[in-house]
Amino acid sequence: MSIVAAILPVDAQAANLVVFAAASLKEALDEQILAFEPARNRVVASYAASSALARQIEHGAPADLFISADADWMDYLAARSLIDGASRVDLVSNRLVLICPRASPIRLVIAPGFPLGEALGRGRLALADPDHVPAGKYARAALEALGAWAEISGRIARSANVRAALSLVARGEAPLGIVYRTDALAEPRVRVIGEFPTTSHARIVYPAAVTAPVRSPAARELLLFLRSSAARAVWEKHGFIVITDR
């Protein structure tokens, strides 16, 4: 099996079932793929920001299944008839958290008017690009709702995706960052300071859909598997919240 973290050239993917998935899904989806693969097609997963993946699909990248970290980028492809709308389903949800390096002494209570700028000191807040990347968009909305965005909007360390923002904090290059709870669980070099109220931002959802035109029947099989009871145990082990209101 080959699981890669970059978008692959067409010739490298020709014989595979190719999944384009939000970067925050990596560990959980890697494990799901390991369980799905026996006696089935070999699966290649490519992880990046949902925005980057959607645009790659728009420009002809050969994905069979797309899993976004928000509805907007799935809607973007749907508007261009690049997904099979009948296959679309919301798979899992997540939480948004404020993190710092594990050894940092910073303590904050996330609430309206909390002193985020003061806690940053001379540093910057690590965020996935808040203009395009879902994790950054959720974070910006939360900070706006809590009255903190105006103070720190000029002090953002913008990253290409949420895992890049996580790495900045893990390496100590940013004193604080906002990522998904599942990202923080996957990185032992950071600790969670607090969780943002779910009322401060739109519900975090990961919609999945088979791309159009359909390239491989196995894409539907994988999507069904990702909604199975066996898959649920894996999602929950990695900190995701399985969406059952479907």
On whether the CB atoms of residues 161 and 170 are closer than 8 A, the answer is no
Same domain, 190 and 111: yes
Lowest mean per-residue pLDDT among 16-20, 37-41, 110-114, 182-186: 37-41
Whichever domain contains 148, its CATH number is 3.40.190.10
Domain span at residue 123 reads 96-200
pLDDT of residue 3: 35
Residue 129 covered by a domain: yes
Residue 1 covered by a domain: no
pTM of the model: 0.90
On whether the CB atoms of residues 21 and 39 are closer than 8 A, the answer is no
Same domain, 111 and 83: no
Q: Among the residues of the chain, which ranges form H helices?
A: 10-13, 26-36, 50-58, 71-79, 116-120, 134-145, 149-152, 162-170, 181-186, 218-225, 229-237
Same domain, 213 and 182: no
Give me the mean pLDDT over the 174-196 stretch. 97
Residue 154 covered by a domain: yes
pLDDT of residue 37: 78
Same domain, 138 and 101: yes
- The 10s digit of each residue's pLDDT in 223-236 is 999 999 999 999 99
pLDDT mean across residues, the chain:
92
Contacts of 242 (CB under 8 A, 6+ apart): 91, 92, 93, 232, 235, 236
Same domain, 105 and 185: yes
Same domain, 189 and 213: no
Same domain, 17 and 85: yes
Residue 133 covered by a domain: yes
Asked whether the predicted pLDDT for residue 239 surpasses 70, the reply is yes
On whether the CB atoms of residues 176 and 119 are closer than 8 A, the answer is yes
Residue 2 covered by a domain: no
pLDDT band at 10 (very low <50, low <70, confident <90, very high): very low
For residue 99, CA distances in Å to 50, 77, 96, 182, 201 come to 22, 32, 10, 12, 17
Residue 4 covered by a domain: no
Same domain, 133 and 59: no
Asked whether the predicted pLDDT for residue 208 surpasses 80, the reply is yes
Same domain, 135 and 170: yes
Residue 69 covered by a domain: yes
Percent of the chain with pLDDT over 70: 91
Same domain, 182 and 223: no
Residue 5 covered by a domain: no
Give the integer Cα–Cα distance in Å for 203 and 239. Answer: 16
- The 10s digit of each residue's pLDDT in 70-92 is 999 999 999 999 999 999 999 99
Same domain, 89 and 210: yes
> How many folded domains does the chain comprise?
2
Q: At what angle do helices 50-58 and 71-79 cross, to 10 degrees?
A: 10
Number of H helices and E strands in the chain, helices first, is 11, 11
Same domain, 116 and 48: no
